[in-house]
Every structure is written in C-alpha cells, then in structure tokens.
Amino acid sequence: MNTHTKGPWYWEINPASKSFSLRAPQKGGTIVMDFVRYGMQSAQPRFNVGNILRNASDLTVVDPERDHHKSWHRLLDHPDALLIAAAPDLLAACVNALERFKEIESDYPVSIDPTLAELRSAIAKAMCSTPSPTLQ
C-alpha cells in the first residue's frame, strides 16, 4: 500500500441514502474514500485497500513524536489519506510555480506551454466548483 488511487477523483452524493463518497472513474466508480456511521457516533472515514473498504482507525501507525501516548495519538497511514492531507501544500506549490513561470515567461521555451496549462487547470479545479470528470 504505497501508491494512491489514480485520478481524477470526484465526489458522489446519494441524497436517498444520505451518503457521499470520493470516487475515481476506473471500473465504474472505484470508491477512494467514504464514510460510515456506527450507532450514534459521528461518521467514520473508510479507505479502499485492495478493493475492500477499511476503517481509517485500522490504517494507523504510532506517531513517533508521541510514542508515550500511542493509544491516544496515531497517524493515518494510507496513500489516499496522505495525498488528501498534502493537497493544500500541493496547491500552494502549483500557484508558486505558475507565478514563477510568469516572472520568467520570455525565458522558457514554447514546449513548456502544456505544463503551464496543466498547472492552471489543477489550480482552477482546486479553487472553483467544477463538474465531475465523468459528467463532462
């Protein structure tokens, strides 16, 4: 379990069952992550591990900085969860890269244009409401 689910990803909401899941279009809508409620508790996240949805609480490791409280403080160790957690940093890196390219626009070759288009598209997708890739 060392690679994340390939994208694109999209949220699917089912108002009838009051459920929502993060999906990838492969194989008719692979579930990347969803939530399940047990009794009166809050919804708990689940992640796909080998096409089996596993509770996030089963996918944890000890936080090395809090080993003395390992039963209280654990880290979620799943590639999709790590990618979701890294999303703000990845967005900031894309914005910074695009700004840097604007500063040196006359110095880079035309062949970099598709890369700039990808940066712009990724930033727009993260910052705006866009339709699901399966609905376009």
The CA distance from 37 to 85, in Å, is: 22
For residue 2, give the nearest of 85, 75, 86, 82 by alpha carbon. 82
Domain tally for the chain? 2
Asked if the structure places residue 124 within a domain, the reply is yes
pLDDT digit string (tens) for the chain, length 136 residues: 578 999 899 999 988 888 889 999 987 789 999 998 877 668 889 999 988 898 888 888 877 766 666 666 678 889 999 999 999 999 999 999 988 887 777 776 667 778 888 888 889 889 875 544 443 3
Domain that holds residue 5: 1-60
CB proximity list for 71: less than 8 A, separation 6 or greater: none
For residue 22, give the nearest of 9, 4, 8 by alpha carbon. 9
Asked if the structure places residue 65 within a domain, the reply is no
Are 55 and 46 a contacting pair, CB within 8 Å?
yes
**Residue 86 shares a structural domain with residue 47:** no
Asked if the structure places residue 66 within a domain, the reply is no
**Residue 53 shares a structural domain with residue 92:** no
Asked if the structure places residue 72 within a domain, the reply is no
Asked if the structure places residue 31 within a domain, the reply is yes
Which residue among 32, 60, 88 closes a domain? 60
Residue entry with tokens 């703000």 = 88
